Amino acid sequence: MASSSSKFSLRAAGLGLLLAALVLIPLLPLPDFWIIQLNYIGLYSLPVLGLVLLTGVGGLTSFGQAAFVGIGAYTTAYLTVNTGLSPWLTLFIGLGITSLSALVIGSITLRMSGHYLPLATIAWALSLYYLMGNLEALGKYDGILGVKGLSLFGWDIGQRRVFFVLTWLIVLLAAFALVRLLDSRTGRAIRALKNGSQMAEAMGIDTLRHKVGIFVLAALLASVSGWLFAHFQRTVNPSPFGLKMGIEYLFMAVIGGAAHVWGALTGSALTKVLEDQLQVLLPKLIGTSGSYEIIVFGIVIVLVLKYLPDGLWDFIDRRLPRRQRAVDWQQAAALPGTPQPAHGELVLEVEAIRKQFGGLVAVNDISFQIRAGQIVGLIGPNGAGKSTTFNLITGLLSLSGGGVRFRGETISGLPSRQIARRGISHTFQHVKMIPDMTVLENVALGAHLRGHRGALSAMLRLDRAEEQQLFKEAQRQLERVGLGDALHELAGNLAMGPQRLLEIARALCGNPALLLLDEPAAGLRHKEKEALAGVLRQLRSEGMSILLVEHDMGLVMDVCDRLVVMEFGTHLMEGTPAEVQQSPQVRAAYLGTEH
Ligand SMILES: Nc1ncnc2c1ncn2[C@@H]1O[C@H](COP(=O)(O)OP(=O)(O)OP(=O)(O)O)[C@@H](O)[C@H]1O
């Protein structure tokens, strides 16, 4: 708790310092040069905050932020100069155009993965740049001159010092809104996007919708910066909105710490000050001018990437005491659950499913059933097709033939998030979690479908009651699997055994009627396996149905009611553990002899 309170006081001090700076800086006799520098740092911070959300947290690399700054800037410049509309109105028109453009561009490009996405962002950043530079109405490459400064009820707020307050007020509001967003149900879903979409989709998260959401939000932050920029500079032309600036925004995010909200401000400040100071100092040092600052700046970036790959703020953050979440959900209402099947009710029907990979038939006409309150083991030698069968049921793979019914409803062909919504939860053969989130937060992700609060609620802190319910459920499930002591641990610090238990707790958080576990005992020590067996038996006694794919025969024979044995993709036999153990066919399959 000592660390918690010291972090709290540090945070409170940091917040106080920021607010004091906001009020005091314009009053201090600082040279105008520094006020202008600070204004530019604020203007850069907004698109970079967007990149923290999009790239650092969401894992989507975009070179196109500058183009959205351009949309905001050109919209207000064009409309205020040509139609005389108030800049306060054009701000919202700019945000509207930005949302629409980001929605269209995002819906098309965010389906791409790997290097295709960054390439696509380069392509549309270039297109928008040349569009701005070639449209007669936008003044081609000369741009639009004579943009008016901002005023409020006749008061000129376009002056450097008042403008400073406006810009930084917006930056700080945006930063705090993002901090709140990232610590919420939607924030956890966004953080789950980074390492592929499989885990997030298995939690019922619509990953494309969340990707488009953060893309639009990042674009809106950029657009606000463009609006401020146009009225601060009083002129716009395409050069600050081109690809070069798009790359620079990414550098700012990376140098500052792309995964941290405060990294955006750090990176913007460092880049702006470094660039300007190098421009002044270098010619003095080497006695000649010639854009050498770009070379030195490049070297600095390479050094930062090498020695501080997670950015400067990450370096600072690691040295601050970690804040522990206050456990304030004891009194919260339990999350409502859906009615569970009665004991013995038919839960899962797998009917002649088939999967072909090219010429290889990995799963060939496999059929079996699971009833409520049963643990069914799916076993077989390596390569028998167990994991493929598992993935066909959970929707991670598409069927080549046959069908799967869950509680009487056909689920084959549905995406995995729809299958999760119907009450099937599963773990992964290779644990998938978010290492830099706590155990509790990782497990709360499993209850995603049982909450409904979105991004706006989170930013306005209207989601606290629901958050308490989600955390209460996460704690309950962690205690159920014996991890009640590890709530506030970072998930990445857990050993393999507890990691697998974390996945089970996360799966249970979805309130499933059927739990599918893919090799839950892999990498576990003897004691941990015993604990796992205890958890599985207890779940069964509470009426849970479980499909267990497992190599550990001791565990399988110990906990399963029935076993389905596969060999070379086919159904070899089905029976009780005792029947399977006595089967010469099964023994031969495992020993690799003819039967
Ligand atoms: N995506 C894929 N593309 C091509 N072949 C695949 C693919 N996934 C699995 N296979 C093949 O399908 C067969 C069954 O694999 P699967 O992983 O389902 O077996 P398994 O019984 O789970 O094996 P293990 O116990 O080793 O995990 C194997 O021959 C495997 O090489």
Question: How do residues 135-183 score in pLDDT, each as one tens digit?
Answer: 999 999 999 999 998 888 777 777 778 899 999 999 999 999 999 999 9
Q: Give the closest residue to 465 by CA, choosing from 178, 185, 213.
A: 185
For the stretch 258-309, pLDDT in tens is 999 999 999 999 999 988 888 888 877 777 767 777 788 888 888 988 999 8
Distance CA 456, CA 186 (A): 10
> Atom 10, ligand 1: which residue's CA is nearest?
362
Answer for the pair 496, 524: CB distance below 8 angstroms, yes or no.
Answer: yes
pLDDT of res. 298: 85
Q: Tally DSSP H helices, then E strands, for the chain.
A: 23, 14
pLDDT of res. 4: 45
3-class SS of residue 489: coil
For the stretch 18-30, pLDDT in tens is 888 888 888 888 8
Give every CB contact of residue 480 below 8 A, 6+ residues apart in sequence. Answer: 505, 508, 535, 538
What is the percent of the chain where pLDDT is above 90?
Answer: 71
Distance CA 85, CA 574 (A): 76
ipTM of the complex: 0.96
Higher pLDDT, 71 or 158: 71
The number of the ligand 1 atom at minimal distance from the alpha carbon of 357 is 4
Alpha helix ranges (H) inside 207-321:
207-233, 243-256, 261-286, 292-307, 312-319
For the stretch 434-455, pLDDT in tens is 999 999 999 999 999 999 999 9
Answer for the pair 73, 241: CB distance below 8 angstroms, yes or no.
Answer: yes
* Average pLDDT of the residues in 44-59: 97
pLDDT band of residue 504 (cuts 50, 70, 90) is: very high
Q: What is the DSSP string of 402-415?
A: EEEEETTEE-TT--
pLDDT at position 539 over 60: yes
If you average pLDDT over every residue of the chain, what do you get? 91
pTM for the whole structure: 0.91
Distance CA 414, CA 428 (A): 19
Bridge partners (DSSP) of residue 515 are: 425, 546
* Average pLDDT of the residues in 40-46: 97
**Helix then strand then coil, % of the chain, to nearest 5:** 60, 10, 30
3-class SS of residue 151: strand
If residue 529 lies in a helix (H) or strand (E), which one and from where to where?
Answer: helix 526-541
Q: Give the closest residue to 424 by CA, choosing from 327, 505, 499, 514.
A: 514
Pocket residue to mutate for ligand 1, from 354, 357, 390, most atoms within 8 A of Cβ: 357
> Atom 25, ligand 1: which residue's CA is nearest?
382
pLDDT of res. 546: 96
Distance CA 155, CA 51 (A): 33
pLDDT at position 11 over 80: no
Answer for the pair 256, 268: CB distance below 8 angstroms, yes or no.
Answer: yes
pLDDT band of residue 3 (cuts 50, 70, 90) is: very low
CA of 409 to the centre of ligand 1 (A): 27
The number of the ligand 1 atom at minimal distance from the alpha carbon of 387 is 22
Distance CA 424, CA 340 (A): 12
CB 386 near ligand 1, within 6 Å:
yes
Distance CA 392, CA 412 (A): 8
Answer for the pair 211, 110: CB distance below 8 angstroms, yes or no.
Answer: yes
pLDDT band of residue 469 (cuts 50, 70, 90) is: very high
pLDDT at position 595 over 60: no
> Atom 11, ligand 1: which residue's CA is nearest?
362
pLDDT at position 59 over 70: yes
- The packing angle between helices 32-51 and 207-233, to 10°, is 160
pLDDT at position 1 over 70: no
Give 417-422's long-range contacts (Cβ < 8 A, gap of 24+).
417/201, 417/202, 417/203, 417/204, 417/205, 417/206, 419/394, 419/395, 420/201, 420/202, 420/203, 420/204, 420/449, 420/510, 421/204, 421/449
Q: How many residues does the chain have?
A: 595
Task: Return the ∠ at Cα 531 (arms to 525 and 536), rounded to 5°.
Answer: 120
Q: What is the DSSP string of 295-330?
A: HHHHHHHHHHHHH-TT-HHHHHHHHSPPPPPP---T
pLDDT of res. 388: 96
* Average pLDDT of the residues in 69-91: 96
pLDDT of res. 592: 62
CB 398 near ligand 1, within 6 Å:
no
CB 257 near ligand 1, within 6 Å:
no
Q: What is the DSSP string of 347-401?
A: EEEEEEEEEEETTEEEEEEEEEEEETT-EEEEE-STTSSHHHHHHHHHTSS--SE
pLDDT at position 465 over 50: yes
Q: Quick one: tokens of 258?
A: 């792309």
> Atom 23, ligand 1: which residue's CA is nearest?
383
pLDDT band of residue 591 (cuts 50, 70, 90) is: low
For the stretch 210-261, pLDDT in tens is 999 999 999 999 999 999 999 999 999 999 999 999 999 999 999 999 999 9
Bridge partners (DSSP) of residue 572 are: none
* Average pLDDT of the residues in 90-107: 96
CA of 395 to the centre of ligand 1 (A): 16
User: Within 10 Å of residue 96's Cβ, how many Cβ atoms?
Assistant: 12
CB 381 near ligand 1, within 6 Å:
no
The torsion of the CA quartet 535, 502, 387, 377, rounded to 10 degrees, works out to 0
pLDDT of res. 5: 46
CA of 388 to the centre of ligand 1 (A): 6
Half-sphere exposure of 421 (CA within 13 A, CB side): 12
pLDDT band of residue 75 (cuts 50, 70, 90) is: very high
